[in-house]
Structure 1
Amino acid sequence: MTPGSIETRRSWITALAAVTILSVSFGAPLIVTVGLRDIAESMGEARSLPSLVASLAYVGAGLGGVLMGWLAGRTSARLVALLGGAMVTGGLLLASGGAPWQLLVGFGLMVGLLGNGALFPPMMTYVSLWFDRRRGTALALVSSGQYVAGALWPSLIERGIATLGWQRTMALYAGVVAAVVLPLAALALRPAPVPPPGSAAAAGPVAGAQVLGMPPNLALFLLALASFLCCIPMAMPAAHLVAFCGDLGITRQKGAAMLSVLLIAAFLARQFWGWVADRIGGLNAVIAGNLCQAAGMAAFLATQEETGLFLVAAAYGLGFSGIVPGYVLAVRELFPAREASWRVPALLFLSLSGMAAGAWLAGLLYDGFGGYAVAWRAGIVANLAALALLMWLALRRRVRLSPASAA
């Protein structure tokens, strides 16, 4: 432990507990992703319905994060995480009933709003309070819970759906969530340390001061708007890759394996992006990640052959994985630590809403055009708009003395 630093061995134990919790809780929405065609066929509906279910899980998690982040700031991260684990469990059990309303309520309200909404955004804020020197690396690790879930669960879920059906697979996974998330949240999550006066963690931006030459709330809104735009394309391949492969004659089993490859690559690269963000700053890391993501989306338009798609999926995962932790780090760099409990969830609400919009939009455009090419192009346009806004914010930071640098 460096003198004056709040980082200890306990900090990393907390981060590992958080990533384990998220790696299980984020497996729940993947059941809809892997079983998208099965769910649509069993209900006699177009793909827009299960796409909407997946979208509600994302937007619910984002909206719930604002509420649960506020609650965690006034109670404890442990209490909120226990609530989240219980809601993910209950939501899966409800959705396994198979009716459209059960899917929408189970995933939108319980798995999303009250479940992952109580786990992902508050957990990112909570873990950031345990670090001051390697915050970007820690945030990259914790936010990788989604990718650990994506690497671990799709193939197992695919086998479960093939053997038991999607409804029984949901019910079985509810038991996994209850067995892992609830005990770990109860035993591993403790109050975050208080930075000693004069330490690096205690220093930081001044409350109420301008950020990037703007009122702080306007600066946060623009940063969150950029996160919304860049998360639209981020969700498209992740939510529709298995179905896309099926349309090309690639088996669902190989499509699930391809999704795992994408998310394994994202997990490994995210640790690199965290290291980079600690050295170049959150905003610059987000810009670099967006450039890579735009290139990856363009690559999905260039090939429809199985081997080529495996390579594109891996490259795409390597590129986009630094974006979300970069945004969280940027918020922590630009705004006071005491405001993190609501500013980080507010930004992540827009990020997850962008992922929800991307997952739903890809399904809608598929139904309208009979293929995914138009969806990929729409994602690239959103990505370029995000890049333009981020570069403008970065330019303002270069020409003005930010509160973070002033401190």
Structure 2
Amino acid sequence: MSRHILCASPKMKWLVLLFTFVFAIGMNSFRNSFQFFMLPMAETFHADRSLISASVSIFMITTGVVQFFVGFFIDRFSVRKIMGIGAICISASFLALPHSPNVHIFSVIYGVLGGIGYSCAVGVTTQYFISRWFDTHKGLALAILTNANSAGLLLLSPIWAAAPYYAGWQTAYTILGIFLAAVLLPLLAFGMKHPPNVQGQSVKKSYDWQGFWKVLKQSRLIHILYFGVFTCGFTMGIIDAHLVPMLEDAHVSHINGMMAAFGAFIIIGGLLAGWLSDLLGSRSVMLSILFFIRLISLICLLVPALGIHNSELWYLCFTLLFGLSYTGVIPLTAASISESFQTGLIGSLLGINFFIHQIAGALSVYVGGLFFDMNHNYLLVTVVCLVLVSLSALLELAPIKKNNHVHNEESVEG
């Protein structure tokens, strides 16, 4: 009977999205709060910044690897169970971290247990979960979900900044662990229900490996989408790690204000991209538009880098335009995958999608630093980003030129 009630309520999917949005904010607090607690934690363990930061490096490696496999698990097991396991692991990490005897144990708990929990709770799982709920407005829904991380950082940053000094990081982590277990786990269990169209389905006993390999080998669409995700991850990694140093090297004034505007445009751009992709009825067109916007932003960055015209206005234009294109690629790629391939393969394809993005980001952070050490500027890496973005902007249009659109093209599934 509950299944019929869910089907009869058009507002249910938006309510589930709201619950998932809140759930994602809570899970992302594990990652977002660290930078605010880092110095007090380093002081507690008498560790320098590089040593305490090693826990984040372990966390990033763990999430990159685990999310790859989580996608395959989704196609065989209940996505809500996987999210529940993730929430339990993060809650346990929060509760265990204050009792770490030394920084090395702390790093293992945060990086490994927390990384496994984070990979299961959000990312591939939440994108998959919401994509199954929304047949229409899917682009907007996934864009809203993607902005949960930015919204959480915006809303909770004042709390994170004050907590370690007023309550201590140990108490703050303990409260967070209890909150996740007492509030967000019940929210997952009772508020984030299975979509009506999959509620009655049984768990798959075997995985369609033949169909999976056939898609990877023969699908032109998946190749284009994955190249776009690699480009997105590579360019985002550069900006995430090197934007502030880049602005400082250029002696840009009001960097804090520029970064605040960057954050605001990230949220605006992500929501606009999702809404417009639903309005246009084409993920490929919107993805191409996003890459063209990112291309223009890189050209703005290239002008002062080449010494053509030195003005802070170029850096401002770059920051705002790049912000507009920042979060749209991942949710639109997830939407395209969920709409174009058979249900039993979506989780694994999304897992690879996130894995490529993480690997590209990690690679670009290192490459950006390497090129700077070699040339003492970011010109070469900017040119590399410009070439990748140009190719992606053009390639995303390729599926549209074919008479059989994405849905027809992807009949390779069997």
Q: Give the TM-score category using the shorter length.
A: 0.7 to 0.9
Q: Which residue of 1 aligns with 2:73?
A: 71
C-alpha distance in 1 between matches for 2:249 and 2:172: 23
Q: Which residue of 1 aligns with 2:162?
A: 159
Equivalent residues in 2 for 1:106-255, closer than 5 Å: 106-160=109-163, 173-194=176-197, 215-216=218-219, 219-239=221-241, 255=256
CA RMSD of aligned residues (A): 4.5
Tell me the number of residue pairs that the alignment of Structure 1 and Structure 2 aligns.
Answer: 384
CA distance 1:299–1:82, change in 2 (3 Å): farther
CA distance 1:118–1:379, change in 2 (3 Å): farther
Q: Which residue of 2 aligns with 1:9?
A: 11
Identity of aligned residues (%): 16
C-alpha distance in 2 between matches for 1:348 and 1:88: 20
Q: Which residue of 2 aligns with 1:289?
A: 290
CA distance 1:347–1:318, change in 2 (3 Å): same
- How far off is 1:396 after superposition? 5.1
- How far off is 1:309 after superposition? 7.2
1:326 is paired with a residue whose SS is helix
C-alpha distance in 2 between matches for 1:106 and 1:306: 43
- How far off is 1:292 after superposition? 2.6
C-alpha distance in 2 between matches for 1:240 and 1:169: 30
Query: Aligned partner of 2:47: which letter?
Result: M
Q: Which residue of 2 aligns with 1:347?
A: 353
C-alpha distance in 1 between matches for 2:41 and 2:343: 43
Query: Aligned partner of 1:122: which letter?
Result: T
Query: Aligned partner of 1:327: which letter?
Result: T
C-alpha distance in 2 between matches for 1:46 and 1:370: 25
C-alpha distance in 2 between matches for 1:357 and 1:53: 19
- How far off is 1:404 after superposition? 1.0
- How far off is 1:401 after superposition? 2.5
Are 2:45 and 1:44 equivalent residues in the alignment?
no
C-alpha distance in 2 between matches for 1:370 and 1:95: 41
CA distance 1:299–1:90, change in 2 (3 Å): farther
CA distance 1:293–1:320, change in 2 (3 Å): farther
Q: Which residue of 1 aligns with 2:91?
A: 89
C-alpha distance in 1 between matches for 2:176 and 2:297: 32
Query: Aligned partner of 2:356: which letter?
Result: L
C-alpha distance in 1 between matches for 2:83 and 2:266: 25
- How far off is 1:266 after superposition? 1.7
- How far off is 1:263 after superposition? 3.2
C-alpha distance in 1 between matches for 2:353 and 2:227: 8
Mapped contact 1:87–1:111 kept (Cα < 8 A): yes
C-alpha distance in 1 between matches for 2:55 and 2:351: 22
CA distance 1:403–1:385, change in 2 (3 Å): closer
Work out which of the two has the higher radius of gyration on C-alpha atoms and give 1 or 2. 2
Q: Which residue of 1 aligns with 2:273?
A: 273
CA distance 1:84–1:281, change in 2 (3 Å): same
Q: Which residue of 1 aligns with 2:204?
A: none
Query: Aligned partner of 2:71: which letter?
Result: G
C-alpha distance in 2 between matches for 1:193 and 1:58: 34
CA distance 1:393–1:259, change in 2 (3 Å): closer
| Runs of 5+ consecutive residues of structure 1 not aligned to the other structure | 197-206
Mapped contact 2:93–2:109 kept (Cα < 8 A): yes
Query: Aligned partner of 1:13: which letter?
Result: L
Mapped contact 1:6–1:132 kept (Cα < 8 A): no
CA deviation string 1:24-83 (max 9, x = no partner): 222322234556788889633559x83x65455445334323433333443323222221
Mapped contact 2:371–2:381 kept (Cα < 8 A): no
- How far off is 1:235 after superposition? 3.4
C-alpha distance in 2 between matches for 1:392 and 1:186: 41
CA distance 1:36–1:239, change in 2 (3 Å): farther
The one of 378, 382, 387 aligned to 1:384: 387
- How far off is 1:121 after superposition? 0.5
- How far off is 1:298 after superposition? 6.0
- How far off is 1:129 after superposition? 0.9
CA distance 1:123–1:323, change in 2 (3 Å): same
Are 2:333 and 1:333 equivalent residues in the alignment?
no
Q: Which residue of 2 aligns with 1:200?
A: none
Q: Which residue of 1 aligns with 2:202?
A: none
Q: Which residue of 1 aligns with 2:31?
A: 29
C-alpha distance in 1 between matches for 2:320 and 2:37: 22
Mapped contact 2:337–2:350 kept (Cα < 8 A): yes
C-alpha distance in 1 between matches for 2:125 and 2:101: 30
Query: Aligned partner of 2:395: which letter?
Result: W
CA distance 1:269–1:55, change in 2 (3 Å): farther
CA distance 1:378–1:7, change in 2 (3 Å): farther
C-alpha distance in 1 between matches for 2:78 and 2:265: 33
C-alpha distance in 2 between matches for 1:305 and 1:36: 35
CA distance 1:171–1:104, change in 2 (3 Å): same
- How far off is 1:398 after superposition? 1.2
The normalised TM-score by structure 1 is 0.74
Query: Aligned partner of 1:119: which letter?
Result: V
